[in-house]
Amino acid sequence: MKRSLLTVSGILFILVCACTTNPFTGKKDLNFVSNDQIFPAAFAQYDQFLKENKVVTGSSQAAMVTTVGQKIRAAAEKYLNANGYQGYLEGYQWEYKLVQDPAVNAWCMPGGKIVVYTGILPITKDEAGLATVMGHEVAHALVNHGAQRMSAAQLQQLGAVGVGVAASGKSETTQQILMQAYGLGTEFGAMLPFSRKHETEADDIGLILMAIAGYNPDRAIDFWQRMSANSGGGAPPEFMSTHPSDYTRISNIKSQIPKAKKEAAKFGVIY
């Protein structure tokens, strides 16, 4: 009993101490993985990925990826500096690459390393569509969603140790049942909702970034409707997914567009 209490106390201590302030929401986020820890690994993985894949250069599409990426970066810098977060982007090494791949995907690694796959360009269609995607992906990096997921996974593992300690002395069958229940409970009750929250947050922040960058956030609806049509309705139920459903996502974006326009207006960008 004493050991289990010590484990719980340790978890609570981590929850209290391992928090950082989200510059876009002002709220505290769980994160005990520093940029100094995660950036070097992310940069090395990015370089390795580029070596193993075909990077598109010299095309109008590649130029568009760079142009939109630079505008989103500038928008992030404007927002952060205006809201008292000067120096927040220290250590970021921005890079924007178009990679030949039919996958409908794009991503931004911690530290500003961005990849857009050619497979998503027929759906983005233009700069506004691409800004929707890149704003979303950059938002993940800006608020350290990758580090937060790592932190949550470590906490989940620590919790499993606590369950194991608490269940010690019980029958092997009971221990297995408790561990399975813990695994399912944390996956569906914590980890998946945590991931969906990140996706929604990245949508919200991405709208602000694209609006400040000069792209009408109304155009984000067009992109996500095209994405929904492209998926063909084959996604799993929302509670089983890392992402919100298309309906939930589009409804949320519609509700957040006025806020994005209001933030852009502070920088003289009016829609």
Q: Residue 219: which of 137, 134, 104 has the closest Cα?
A: 134
Q: What are phi and psi of 175, to 5 degrees?
A: -60, -45
Measured CA to CA, the distance from residue 23 to residue 27 in angstroms comes to: 8
Q: pTM for the full model?
A: 0.77
What is residue 9's predicted lDDT score, i.e. its pLDDT?
45
Quickly count: other Cβ atoms within 10 Å of residue 5's Cβ: 12
- Token readout for 122 is 């027929």
- pLDDT exceeding 70 applies to what percent of the chain? 69
Mean pLDDT of all residues in 228-232: 82
- Answer whether residue 271 is part of any domain: no
Could you list the residue range(s) of the whole structural domain that residue 213 is in? 2-265
Q: Among 137, 199, 201, 263, which one carries the catalytic annotation?
A: 137
- Answer whether residue 270 is part of any domain: no
Q: Residue 179: which of 160, 194, 197, 195 has the closest Cα?
A: 160
3-state secondary structure of 262: helix
Q: What is the pLDDT of residues 29-39, one digit of tens each?
A: 666 667 888 89
Q: Residue 135: which of 216, 21, 250, 23 has the closest Cα?
A: 216
Q: What is the pLDDT of residues 47-95, one digit of tens each?
A: 999 999 999 999 999 999 999 999 999 999 999 999 999 999 999 999 9
Measured CA to CA, the distance from residue 271 to residue 269 in angstroms comes to: 7
- Answer whether residue 211 is part of any domain: yes
Q: What is the pLDDT of residues 196-226, one digit of tens each?
A: 788 899 999 999 999 999 999 999 999 999 9
pLDDT at 21 over 90: no
Active site residue 90: no
CA 186 to chain centroid, in Å, comes to: 20
Task: Indicate the number of domains in the chain.
Answer: 1
Q: Residue 94: which of 141, 129, 38 has the closest Cα?
A: 141
Cα Rg, the chain, nearest whole Å:
21
pLDDT at 137 over 50: yes
What is residue 181's predicted lDDT score, i.e. its pLDDT?
58
What is residue 83's predicted lDDT score, i.e. its pLDDT?
95
159 against 226, higher pLDDT: 226
What is residue 3's predicted lDDT score, i.e. its pLDDT?
45
Helix crossing, 192-212 with 219-231: angle to 10°?
Answer: 140
| Domain CATH code at residue 15 | 3.40.390
- Answer whether residue 87 is part of any domain: yes
- Answer whether residue 64 is part of any domain: yes
- Answer whether residue 254 is part of any domain: yes
- Answer whether residue 188 is part of any domain: yes
Q: pLDDT band at residue 28, thresholds of 50, 70 and 90?
A: confident
